[in-house]
Amino acid sequence: MGDAGWLVDVAFWACSLIAVATGVLVFVVDSMARATYALATSFIATGGALLLMQQSYLGVVVVLMMVMEMAVMAVYMVMFMGMNPALMPMSMVHSHRAAIGVAVATFVVLGSGAVLVPWPERRGAPAPDVTEALGTAIMESHMLVMMVVGPVMVATIVVGVLLSSARTRYDRMGDDLDQPPTDPPTGRTGVRG
């Protein structure tokens, strides 16, 4: 880490504290709006921790992606919740004690493993430009990953549109598209001839 090692340490602990504390706040605050902001803050802090480990591209992508996701979540709340979420206290939980028990057990098991396992020494050194190395990897030796991720993203868009559509041609004309439409629009559009 060099001379700035202690600075990195301080920044890491700050990011960690913020990430975990706001992560807890997501399920403590009494409105979905506050929970949304808390989760966004948690992810930005997680992205910051990744940046401290010199993962510039992934850290920035995490931050940008989560800011956008929280914007989508805000739109979702406005669309469906029919009230001002910031003013509506709520507690919608079940199996509260059991969930806390499982969460604590998870932390104890994973945390024990993190501390007790004799981790090996670092092998190799990071590339001088980590982002460039990542770009080269996904365009050369690991291109298959990008070839898979691309279609998966497209499939996700299709699935998202299909699931969230109020009415599709499959709703109107059956799974095999062989039923007469129940609500033919004016003119020939949409009527199967």
Q: Which of 43, 44, 40, 38 is nearest to 25 (CA)?
A: 38
Task: Report whether 42 contacts 26 (CB < 8 A).
Answer: yes
Binding residue for other proteins, selected from 149, 154, 177, 191, defined by CB under 8 A: 149
# binding residues, other proteins (CB under 8 A): 82
Least separation, in Å, of the C-beta of 118 and other proteins? 11
To 5 degrees, how large is the angle CA 151–CA 154–CA 159?
120
Least distance from C-beta 182 to other proteins, angstroms?
17
Closest-CA residue to 40 (of 21, 73, 67): 67
- Does residue 26 touch other proteins according to CB under 8 A? yes
Residue 44: CB minimum distance to other proteins, A: 11
What's the token pair of residue 107? 């932390």
Interactions with other proteins, residue window 74-113 (CB under 8 A)? 76-77, 80, 92-96, 98-100, 102-104, 106-107, 110-111, 113
Of residues 152-181, which lie at the interface with other proteins (CB under 8 A)? 152-153, 156-157, 159-164, 166
CA–CA dist 58, 183 (Å, integer) = 48
Site string for other proteins, 36-75 (x = CB under 8 A): ---x--xx--x--xx-xxxx-xx--xx--x---x--xx--
Considering the rule CB under 8 A, would residue 18 count as an interface residue with other proteins?
no
Largest CA distance in the chain: 76
CA distances from 140 to 45, 61, 106, 109, 147 (A): 31, 21, 38, 39, 11
**How far apart are the C-alpha atoms of 118 and 137, rounded to whole Å?**
30
Binding other proteins by CB under 8 A: which of 138, 172, 181, 184?
A: 138
Q: How far is the CB of 177 from other proteins (least distance, A)?
A: 20
Q: How far is it, in rounded angstroms, from Cα 41 to Cα 18?
A: 8
139 binds other proteins (CB under 8 A): no
